[in-house]
Structure 1
Amino acid sequence: MEQVSATRSALLAHRGKILLATQGRDLLKDRRTALITEFSRLGASVLQSMDLIDRDAGIASRTLGLAIAVEGLEPIASAGFAAAAGIGVRVRTRSVAGVAVVEVDRTTVLRARTSRGFSLIGSSARIDAVARSFEVVIERLLELAALELSVRRLAEEIARTTRRMNALEHIIVPRLIAERAKIALILEERELEDRIRLRRMRASDRRAGTLR
């Protein structure tokens, strides 16, 4: 333990430090609880989203395989080139206990038959089904990307908050309490010594007065 000044002001200062440290620890506990709650909610959404992607990707793969078997590869590839288009994506954040959680605003990925860019005459219901099934998968992937980024940020902040909370609870607060106890003990010993010295002085004065 480092040397501390054994004075009344030091004792009062340590009491104030202990109060601030315990308040900080409690605030970190509350923050950690809020972060864990959001982490659990988004984590469940991630698992659900992954399950849906697996399901929809399987559907898309089977739909594509059937279309290739019936239509042939060339018309499907041609429709794919014609339907290629950018997706407008805007990333925004919201704060959860000070952590920026990501949310994605995007243009609609699912399109009508007339909005995919290829000729309705030269395509078929099977090609439309392939396009729609892969559009569903893309939407799922965009949702999952935002969820995973948010979950990763929350996990990092939970770990950081836990380290700070533990440092206060198990290191800083106990050290301050021990230092406060040490200062209080030294001050009590000094007061006791002063009282004993005062008694001796009074006794000595009384003896001197008797002798005179």
Structure 2
Amino acid sequence: MASTQVNPTRMELTRQKNKLKTAVRGHKLLKDKRDELMRQFLDLVRENMELRLKVEAGIRSANTNFVIAKAGMSEPTLKTALMTPKQEVYLEVDKKNVMSVDIPVLEYKTRTADANDIYSYGFAFTSSDLDGAVKSLADVLPDMLKLAESEKACQLMSAEIEKTRRRVNALEHVIIPEAQENIKYISMKLGENERSSQIRLMKVKDMMLEETHHYKEKAHERAMENS
């Protein structure tokens, strides 16, 4: 059913046709965007799963080493060894645009490039298990940052997919059918008006012909009477 607010005029018909054309083109573009977002989202989900397993394995290994180190060292010695960190990490946050979605990019830099600076203690009074725990955490840091990127990217892309899906549905089920109904309604009304005008013109023509015929008959009668 066409909207009751639509005026059945040729100008409105042209406007509705342009609206339909724009809506159809926008629907196609949004569908393409949604499909590409879905493809990239699924790739991110697979990457996310792999990173999560890798990070969990690294953290589990570090925790195991910490537990063993704690069992073989006194608590004061362990606390003293880890009290003052030697290395510093600087986190830089940037972003990249993927299908109109701003995805964060995390990069980190260390104060020094020396790999041994992750150990804030001497090796004389600590166990090798503590070294393994610290090394495991240092090794898992890049993957943890990638996992954070992937998690946030999945959240943002999921929200964008949902927003795009709602727009596609609105165009497909509301705007495009409404424009088509309006075009059909206006075309029907214009056709009815055109037929009504033709009928009126034909009636006027018949009336004029009839009046002309009567006029000729009367003129002929007057001519016969005068003769």
Common fold by TM > 0.5: yes
The amino acid across from 1:66 in the alignment is: I
Shift of 1:96: 0.9
The amino acid across from 2:29 in the alignment is: L
Query: What whole-Å deviation, never above 9, does each CA across 1:33-63 have from its counterpart, x for those lacking one?
Result: 2221221111112211211122112211211
> Which of 29, 52, 55 is matched with 1:53 structurally?
55
Does the aligned pair in 1 maintain the 2:118–2:135 contact within 8 Å? no
Which position in structure 2 is the counterpart of 1:11? 13
> Which of 145, 149, 163 is matched with 2:148 structurally?
145
> Which of 114, 119, 125 is matched with 1:116 structurally?
119
Q: Distance in 2 between matches of 1:87 and 1:32?
A: 38
Q: Tell me the percent identity.
A: 25
Shift of 1:6: 1.1
- The verdict on how the C-alpha distance between 1:113 and 1:75 changes in structure 2, with shifts beyond 3 A counting, is farther
Query: Is the deviation greater in 7-16 or in 83-92?
Result: 83-92
Does the aligned pair in 2 maintain the 1:63–1:129 contact within 8 Å? yes
> Which of 180, 183, 186 is matched with 2:186 structurally?
183
Query: Is the deviation greater in 72-81 or in 107-116?
Result: 107-116
Q: What TM-score comes out, normalization by structure 1 length?
A: 0.90
- The verdict on how the C-alpha distance between 1:137 and 1:114 changes in structure 2, with shifts beyond 3 A counting, is closer
The alignment status of 1:32 with 2:34, answered yes or no, reads yes
Q: Distance in 2 between matches of 1:12 and 1:63?
A: 75
Unaligned runs of 5+ in 1: none
Query: Is the deviation greater in 38-47 or in 167-176?
Result: 38-47
Which position in structure 2 is the counterpart of 1:128? 131
Q: What TM-score comes out, normalization by structure 2 length?
A: 0.84
The amino acid across from 1:48 in the alignment is: E
Shift of 1:102: 1.1
Query: Is the deviation greater in 78-87 or in 174-183?
Result: 78-87
The alignment status of 1:165 with 2:150, answered yes or no, reads no
Q: Distance in 2 between matches of 1:163 and 1:200?
A: 54
Shift of 1:84: 5.7
Does the aligned pair in 1 maintain the 2:86–2:117 contact within 8 Å? no
Q: Distance in 2 between matches of 1:175 and 1:28?
A: 19
- The verdict on how the C-alpha distance between 1:152 and 1:45 changes in structure 2, with shifts beyond 3 A counting, is same
RMSD: 2.2
The amino acid across from 1:7 in the alignment is: T
Does the aligned pair in 2 maintain the 1:91–1:105 contact within 8 Å? yes
What secondary structure does 2:104 align onto?
strand
Does the aligned pair in 2 maintain the 1:43–1:151 contact within 8 Å? yes
Does the aligned pair in 1 maintain the 2:95–2:104 contact within 8 Å? yes
Query: Is the deviation greater in 191-200 or in 115-124?
Result: 115-124
